A and B are shown apart, each in its own frame.
Chain A
Amino acid sequence: MVLEVKDLKKSFEEKCVIDGVSFKIQKGKIVGLLGKNGSGKTTILKMINDLLTIDSGEILVCGETIGVKTKAMISYLPERTYLDNTKTISQVFDFFQDFYADFDRCKAEQLLKELDLDINARLAKMSKGMKEKVQIVLVMSRNAKLYILDEPLGGVDPSTRDHIMKTILSNFSDDASMLITTHLIADVEKILDEVIIIDKSKIVLSGNADELRKKEKKSIDEIFRRIVK
Chain B
Amino acid sequence: MIGKLMKYDLKKMFRILVYIYVCAISLAGITRLINIGKDIQILEIIGYIFAGCTYSAIGSVLINTFVQILRVFIGDFYKDESYLTHTLPVEKSKLLISKYLSSLIVIVCSVLVSFLSLFVVLYSKELFEGIRALLEVSVAGFNMSIAGFLTLLIFIVFEQICGMISMAFASIIIGCRENSRRILKGLLTFIAFYMISMMFTFVILAIVFAISGNIGEFFASSLSQGSFITILILGLVLYFVYAVGFFLISYKLFKKGVNVD
Contacts and interface: CB of A to CB of B under 8 A. Distances in A.
A100 B256 contact: no
Contact of A12 (B81, B87, B179, B256): B179
A99 B260 contact: no
A149 B195 CA distance: 46
Contact of B257 (A50, A69, A74): A50
A13 B177 CA distance: 12
Given A12-B179, A53-B256, A95-B8, A68 B80 contact: no
A76 interface: yes
B171 to A, nearest CB: 19
B89 interface: yes
Given A68-B90, A99-B4, A99-B89, A86 B84 contact: no
B89 A50 contact: no
Q: Which of A74, A76, A82, A86 has the most CB of B within 10 A?
A: A82
Contact of A51 (B12, B15, B179, B260): B260
A49 B87 contact: yes
Contact of A52 (B8, B84, B88, B260): B260
Interface string B240-261: 0000000000000000111110
Contacts of A128: none
Contact of B83 (A69, A80, A98): A80
Contact of A99 (B82, B83, B88, B91): B88
B206 to A, nearest CB: 41
A200 interface: no
A78 B83 CA distance: 7
Interface string A49-81: 111111000000000000011011010101011
Nearest to B4: A98
Chain A at the B interface: SS class:
loop
A192 B230 CA distance: 72
Contacts of B8: 95
Given A81-B80, A95-B8, A99-B4, A50 B87 contact: yes
B38 interface: no
Q: Which of B86, B87, B88, B259 has the most CB of A within 10 A?
A: B87
Nearest to B3: A98
Given A84-B12, A95-B8, A51 B83 contact: yes
A72 B257 CA distance: 17
Nearest to B79: A82
B82 A83 contact: no
B91 A52 contact: no
B71 to A, nearest CB: 12
A161 interface: no
Interface residues of A, number: 26
A100 B89 contact: yes
Q: Which of A71, A84, A86 has the most CB of B within 10 A?
A: A84
Interface in B161-208: 179
Contacts of B179: 12-13
Q: Which of B81, B88, B91, B256 has the most CB of A within 10 A?
A: B88
Nearest to B81: A82
A107 interface: no
B211 to A, nearest CB: 45
A12 B180 CA distance: 11
Contacts of A86: 15
Contacts of A76: 83, 87
Contact of B88 (A53, A69, A71): A71
Contact of B260 (A46, A68, A71, A98): A46
Given A12-B179, A52-B259, A82 B89 contact: no
A82 B258 contact: no
A76 B84 CA distance: 9
12 contacts: A51-B83, A51-B86, A51-B259, A52-B258, A52-B260, A54-B257, A71-B89, A76-B83, A81-B80, A82-B82, A99-B4, A99-B88
* Those 9 A-B pairs whose CB atoms lie nearest each other, nearest first: A72-B89, A82-B83, A53-B257, A71-B89, A78-B83, A82-B84, A51-B260, A98-B4, A99-B88
Interface of A: 12-13, 46, 49-54, 68-69, 71-72, 74, 76, 78, 80-84, 86, 95, 98-100
Given A12-B179, A51-B260, A68-B91, 20 more contacts: A50-B257, A51-B83, A51-B86, A51-B259, A52-B257, A52-B258, A52-B259, A52-B260, A53-B258, A53-B259, A68-B90, A69-B89, A71-B88, A71-B90, A74-B87, A80-B80, A82-B84, A84-B81, A86-B15, A99-B4
